Each structure stands twice: as C-alpha cells, then as structure tokens.
Amino acid sequence: MPMKTLITALLLSAATLSAAAAPVDRYGYTLPPSMQKKKQPAAPKKKAAPAVDYVGEYVNFGDWQEVRAFLDDVAARDGFERAELNALMAQIRYVDSAVQLVKPAPPGKPKNWQAYSKLMIDPVRIDAGVKFWNENSEALSRAEALYGVPAEIVVGILGVETVYGRNTGRFRVLDALTTLAFAYPEAPQRRERMAFFRGELESTLLFARQAGVDPLSLKGSFAGAIGMPQFMPSSVIKYAVDFDGSGKVDLLNSSVDAIGSVAAFLAGHGWQREQAGPVVYAATVSPNRAWEPMLGRGLAATYRPQELVAAGVTPAVAPPEQLYGLVDLQNGAEPTEYWLANGNFFAITQYNRSYFYAMSVVELGRAVRLARAAAGVSSGM
C-alpha cells in the first residue's frame, strides 16, 4: 500500500471469503483461528450492527527505552514538542491482532494462485468495479492522459485493496504502527521491519500536522495503510494528489483523489506509458528446465524475448520486443503457471511485492473492462 514496495502484502485487502477456502490475509496466509469468522446458524434478518473498530490494550509505550529514543529523534528532527509527543504516546494502545497478522505463513504451506485469485477476482469486485469505472470515467481518463496508467490497472488496484472504498480498515493507524514499530514478532529481518514501521510512524505524525488533523483520528489497515488506495503514510506524503481540485487530499472519501494518487504512485515507480501490449503473456516451459535460473531474478524485467525462447520458454503469442521477467504462479498440487511480465507488471509489484498481488490487479482490471464491454459500455480509452 509504499514503502509499499517492502510490504509484500503487509497492507490488508478486504477479501470476499470463499466457502471453499479458509480466510486469508493480503499475503495469502491463512488467518489464525481466533480471527476467522465462525459459521453461524441462519437467523432472522435484522438490521446490521455497525462495524466495530479494533481496540488494543493499554501498555505504557512511553516507558520503553526504544520509544523514548525514537521520540527524542522525532522531536529534534521534525520540530515536534516533546511534551506533546509524550501526551500522544500515552494514548496509544498495543494491538495484538496486528502482530498476529504480520506473522509469516507456517513452513511448508503451499502457495496457490487459483485459490488466491478466486478471493480477489470475484463477482462482488467485478460488479463494484464496473459501477466505479462508470461513475469515475472522466477521472480515470484524465489520470491515464497525465500519468500513462490505463484505467483498468487503477481500477484493479482499488478493487483488490478495498473493494473501491468499502473496506478501508478499522485500526487506529498510530496504534498499529507503534505496535509493529516496537513489538514486531520474531521473524527474519525483524529489525529491518521495525525500522520501516518507525519511519511510517514518523510519516504519520508529519502528515497529520501537515493536514491539520488529529493523528489519533486516522483509521486504516493492521499495517497502517490509509484510505481507498491503502497508501502507507510515507506514500501519502510523497504521491497522494488533490486530483479533484478541492484544495486538499482526501484518500478516504474522494474517489477522484484516490484515482490520481494510484496513477501518480505507479508513474513514480517505473510505469512506462510507451510499453506496448499487455503487461503479461502466458507461456509454457520446456522439461529440460534450462529456464529455471531465470526465475527469482528480482522485481524487474531483464530478458529479451529471444533469450527466454532460447532457454525453453514459449509464449502463447509473440510479445513485443522489450524486456521481460519470467513469473511463476504456483497452484499447490496443480501445475505452476508461467508468464512473461514486462516492466509495468513489476511497477505494480512496487505497490505490493507479490506476483500474486500484481497478477490479481491485472486480472481484476481486465475482468471489469470485459464486463463493461459486455454491458455495452465503451472504455473511452
């Protein structure tokens, strides 16, 4: 949601849960039993209860040595009053559910693209995407003209992230970020992860001061991502734009600001309008596995089509002459899918460092575009 570039899925996308699959978080990890919804017997219909915010438990973060050192640095670096930071920290709560959600998947759990895609590319998101595109076609066209990012990619991201604003998160951003900045669970690169979240905590304070809002009023995902596009606070500062001309940036309530900001983010992370054709091309691979060293070469397109073909990768259709990466989408016990992905696919992975995420954005956007066309609505692009 930036540095969404480092959060493979640390940002929480609300998923419409399939009856055939266990609930998962944005990484594709199964949620812990305590956070899974239990199936209840049918009951008479009644008015839905309001959504309940996630409320943590009080701990005195201000007594923690690392917290005090952090606040000293922020006060000196950014000109905050130390007493104000102390008063703010006294109101912050520890959120154990955020800690549980960032824990890595159990060892040996197979990845399954087909199961993941069924959660992300479903009729609810497709129908909502058609409605969103119809209502915001002018802003989507303007964003494409300005930033070069097609409407279907922006629509795909906003659908995967929050179902077009339906699920923007109910954690207090300061609670989630402080918890992860100072109480991140034991995991590889724990110190790096905590440093990242400390940077986002500082960015939240800066953003709140800049926008003139109470930082405790900000709500978002378990990882501190904000608004319809689920931007991390540092990305709000760097990439969010007032695309509707209201005089302020509002990623929670303004679809137009969300559209412009997503396009600005992708353009700032390597999206190239001159890239020809689709962002991915289906491919098959030879049994000799000479292509295997081409996997896992980082989130970048580095190979010419002829290099891939020489290694035994055969695209279903001849792709344009540009650079590609070889992407593998594992399907549990079923055969792995292989795709050639150009640089724009890898620009999407800077939003969330996951092949599954980027492919779900591409496929959801495509499904929405085709659904609009089937309804007789031109894309206007």
Q: Which residue type, as a one-letter code, is found at position 191?
A: R
Secondary structure percentages of the chain, helix, strand, coil, to 5: 45, 10, 45
- Tell me if residue 81 is catalytic: no
Sheet holding 334-341, edge to edge: 313-315, 280-285, 334-341, 325-331
CA pseudo-torsion sign 139, 141, 145, 148: positive
Q: Which two tokens stand for residue 1?
A: 């949601």
- Give backbone dihedrals phi and psi of 315, rounded to 5 degrees, phi first: -70, 150
Question: Across the strands, what pairs with 93?
Answer: 58
Angle formed at CA 113 by CA 122 and CA 177, multiple of 5 degrees: 80
Other Cβ atoms less than 10 A from the Cβ of 312: the count is 17
Q: Is 250 helix (H, G, I), strand (E, B) or coil?
A: coil
Distance CA 236, CA 205 (A): 12
Q: Is 325 helix (H, G, I), strand (E, B) or coil?
A: strand
Q: Are 103 and 187 in contact (CB under 8 A)?
A: yes
Q: Which of 144, 152, 161, 200 is an active site residue?
A: 161
Distance CA 9, CA 352 (A): 6
Distance CA 345, CA 280 (A): 7
Task: List residues with catalytic annotation.
Answer: 161
